[in-house]
Chain A
Amino acid sequence: MSISDSSYLATIDAVEEGLRGVDYLPSREIATTVFLANRLAKPILVEGPAGTGKTELAKAISRLLSRELVRLQCYEGLDDAKAIYEWNYSKQLLRIQSAKNGDDDLSWSGVRGDIFTAEFLLERPLLHAISGADPKVLLVDEVDRVEVETEALFLEVLSDFQVTIPEFGTIKAASMPLVILTSNNTRELSEALKRRCLFLYLGYPSREREKDILTMKVPGLTESLAKEISDYVAFLRGIDLKKSPSVSESIDWALTLISLGAPTLDNDVVRSTINVLLKYQGDIDKAIAKLA
């Protein structure tokens, strides 16, 4: 039971090529996992340090399949009313009030049957992702920010693609969304959630892949400078820093170097622009010290 029959997801090679076509350079592992997620109809749990393209992956998939991207940003204190659905309380009250004044049916069963219908339901991202005829891509961003208890809210949607509303019954997915969850791993996610997902870790890319990403994202970047940048950034990630440079930061750095017109990396260039790459003074000092 695959999620989509789209030819873009038919084989691993097709996924790889397709994602590249929408400006996302997948590793073989990424392509394989996306392919499997579609085939097994399972969400992907994407973990990894900030700025390695977790959210970007979801966006790329939605571009690839031309599907709407539904995004649920998680935060502490997120609850079902914000994540799944909410009864439109004010509208329900207005309905009752207006019934008092007008000649609408005010019998108990009439009102009860009326105010708990779809008209009074506010769709939140999770419900929205499974309703409607067009299939969507659901991105649950930074799922590690919600409390363990709240995670349980996602389980029904993630494994059965349905939402149960007590007054209403169960809403089954009209179309199956492709689901991506991202986590910065600030806490361990519950077993129940992890069991339902395929796991994908997006670490820092290999030198080779980072070089390709840079050439793709930064127009006008020469092959040799891209290589130097990716090598130097790989070196920085190897030393013990408070915050290692992310891919998005190395892209920023490449853009800076281009606008400065630096043809190659040398000590002066690195010294004057390293603040684009590293955000803590201690880290900058450390990197500069290694140059001496």
Chain B
Amino acid sequence: MSETFDDFYDAVVEFSRLLRDVRVPVSMTELVDATLAIEAISPVDREQLRVALFSTMVKNESHRKVFNTVFDIFFSRRSNFFEADDSPDRDQSESGEGMSFGDQVDLDGLREMMIEALKGGDAQQLARLVRIAVARYAGIERGRSVSGVYYSYRTLKQLNLDAIYAALRPEEGVQLSSVAKVIANDKVEDLVSSLKDSLEDEIRRILVEDRGATAVAKTIKPTLPQDLDFISASRDEIEKIRHAIGPLASKLRARISGRARRAKRSQLDFRKTFRESLRYGGVPIEMHLRKRRPSKPEIFVIADISGSVASFARFALQLVYALSENFSKVRAFVFIDAIDEVTDFFSQSSSIEEAIRLINTEAKVVHLDGHTDYGHALEQFSSRYLDDLTKKSTILILGDARNNYHASRAELMAEMRRRSRGLYFLNPEPANYWNSGDSIVRDYQKYADRVVECRNLRQLEVFIDSLT
């Protein structure tokens, strides 16, 4: 056993390197803990190894998916670390017996058997069938540096995913209450995703066998939610981002209200302490501290929701939504070439989707041609809402400052800054594109406390941390 431990140490060190490559931070002490944990467990059990490494190296749930991907590649079933495995003996199936069994069934038969295996929850059988399907339909070309997404797509297309869905759903004739129907449909999703997982697992196994774990891990490069780019993020990715916003919003609250700093220790209330001490013959036995008043900060969020920043706008609205759950007073404004207050849309709607739908249909954000005009938006904001700004208000402007060559009206922003506690401009564009073309970051930079590049959650977090 002791020789294999050395192999495991090396493997774990290499594994931690791969994790760092995808920006999951693993510190030296954590690495040491991981090796200690391996000594305590039986590392040839793959699931024990997974928990041991996860609990020691990863301290953030949002990293789990990425961790699992890297783990599955690196400690793939193929690797010689694991003695007993829950999947059927591979050599046997590859040496001919399994394949000849595969040769006998046609595509429809294979699909039938897969559906049976899914319904019956027979993981072994499913793995066997998936192996046949991948061998036949994925068309894997050895030696190519690809991530395998295409192979999985190709196999699923051959298998006809729609037919699988249809077969798994409850039959039409059967009378079911709608609760039962809802439950059944939900389960179908679970089953299909287990099929997809099994498929990806197999493709990954072949890729690893072909090119080695490290090389495959480098091509796949999974992305953490906090590194997803707001501008290019897909709808699904924006959803992932959404789940990570909540904690950031409450952090922002802590920073802006400055509670963290003031909470340390309040001042001695000398008068009261002295007066009370008279009861004990002038000995100040009980100390009295001054009570602090909680501050009630207000946030004004002004978001550009024009087409050029559509994905970012979705993120911006999610941020507003998260903020409104954390601050007692959040006012939200959106603009393209006209500005409208949308605070009520958020408070009325029960979900972010509904709020976004209301904003898209009902907010009056178009004045002339629907091309972004920061100047006109600022003008309208100043004439309608300037008096609402106080020294408790913090203004966040979210947008790319691309103004289609309209006037910037930066002097209005100066006045907004003067009346408020702080004004920050979060820009989703990379900083080296600023001030090129119709970008007028320069004009606003003079009056905003800061213009910050904010392309992903990591940068947003850095910004929040820098607020004091």
Contacts and interface: CB of A to CB of B under 8 A. Distances in A.
A binds B: yes
Interface in A177-212: 185-188, 191, 194-195, 197-201, 203
Contact of A290 (B33, B54, B182, B251): B182
A197 B41 CA distance: 18
Given A40-B36, A228-B183, A199 B59 contact: yes
Nearest to A281: B350
Given A148-B260, A149-B260, A240 B51 contact: no
B47 A28 contact: yes
Interface in A240-267: 240, 242, 265-267
B179 interface: yes
Nearest to B287: A89
Given A32-B52, A231-B186, A201 B263 contact: no
Contact of B37 (A40, A242, A265, A267): A40
A90 B40 contact: no
A218 B40 CA distance: 36
Interface residues of B, number: 49
Given A187-B247, A195-B29, A235-B186, A32 B178 contact: no
B350 A280 contact: yes
Nearest to B181: A291
B10 interface: no
Indicate the size class of the contact surface on chain A.
Answer: 35 or more
Contact of B52 (A36, A149, A188, A283): A36
A150 B59 CA distance: 20
A67 to B, nearest CB: 21
Given A40-B33, A199-B58, A235-B183, A93 B283 contact: yes
Contacts of B180: 228, 265
Contacts of A198: 33, 55-56
Chain A binding surface SS class: helix
Contacts of A231: 183, 186-187
B353 interface: yes
A176 to B, nearest CB: 16
B393 to A, nearest CB: 23
Nearest to A283: B350
Nearest to A144: B247
B141 to A, nearest CB: 37
A87 B60 CA distance: 38
A266 B179 CA distance: 6
A276 interface: no
Which residue, B33, B55, B178, has most C-beta atoms of chain A within 10 A?
B55
Nearest to B263: A77
Interface string B179-205: 110110011010000000000000000
21 contacts: A28-B51, A29-B51, A36-B40, A39-B37, A76-B263, A79-B265, A89-B287, A90-B286, A186-B246, A186-B250, A188-B247, A191-B27, A197-B59, A198-B55, A199-B60, A234-B186, A238-B189, A265-B180, A267-B177, A286-B350, A292-B178
Given A36-B40, A40-B36, A267-B178, 5 more contacts: A48-B61, A198-B56, A199-B55, A242-B350, A242-B351
Interface of B: 27, 29-30, 33, 36-37, 40-41, 47-48, 51-52, 54-56, 58-61, 64, 177-180, 182-183, 186-187, 189, 246-247, 250-251, 254, 259-260, 263-265, 283, 285-287, 349-353, 461
> 8 shortest A-B CB distances, which residue pairs?
A282-B350, A194-B59, A235-B186, A39-B40, A32-B51, A198-B55, A147-B260, A231-B183
Interface of A: 12, 28-29, 32-33, 35-36, 39-40, 42, 45, 47-48, 76-77, 79, 89-90, 93-94, 97, 147-149, 185-188, 191, 194-195, 197-201, 203, 228, 231-232, 234-235, 238, 240, 242, 265-267, 270, 280-283, 285-286, 290-292
